[in-house]
Amino acid sequence: MNKILKRKVLNPTVILMEVDAPLVAKKAEPGQFIILRADKDGERIPLTVADYDRKKGSVTIIFQVVGATTKQLSTLNEGDYIHDFVGPLGKATKVDGLKKVAVVGGGVGCAIAYPVAKKLHSMGADVHSVVGFRNKELIILEDEFRAASGKFVLMTDDGSAGEKGLVTNALEKLIESGENYDEVITIGPLIMMKFVCSLTKKYGIKTVASMNPIMIDGTGMCGGCRLTVGGKTVFACVDGPEFDGHEIDFDEAINRSSMYKPFEKAAYEKACNLYKDL
Domain-wise residue ranges, the chain = 2-89, 100-257
CA 213, 215, 220, 223 dihedral sign is negative
SS3 of 44, please?
coil
Beta-sheet pairing, 14-20 with 58-64: antiparallel
Does pLDDT of 240 surpass 90?
A: no
Does pLDDT of 44 surpass 90?
A: no
What is the CATH T-level fold of the domain 2-89, as seen in this structure?
Answer: Elongation Factor Tu (Ef-tu); domain 3 (2.40.30)
pLDDT, mean over the chain = 89
pTM summary value: 0.85
Is CATH 3.40.50.80 what the domain over 100-257 is classified as, yes or no?
yes
pLDDT tens per residue across span 25-37: 999 999 899 999 8
% of the chain beyond a pLDDT of 90: 68
The Cα–Cα gap between 65 and 69 comes to 8
pLDDT of residue 267: 52
The Cα–Cα gap between 251 and 255 comes to 6
pLDDT of residue 221: 78
The confidence band for 219, taking pLDDT boundaries of 50, 70 and 90, is: confident
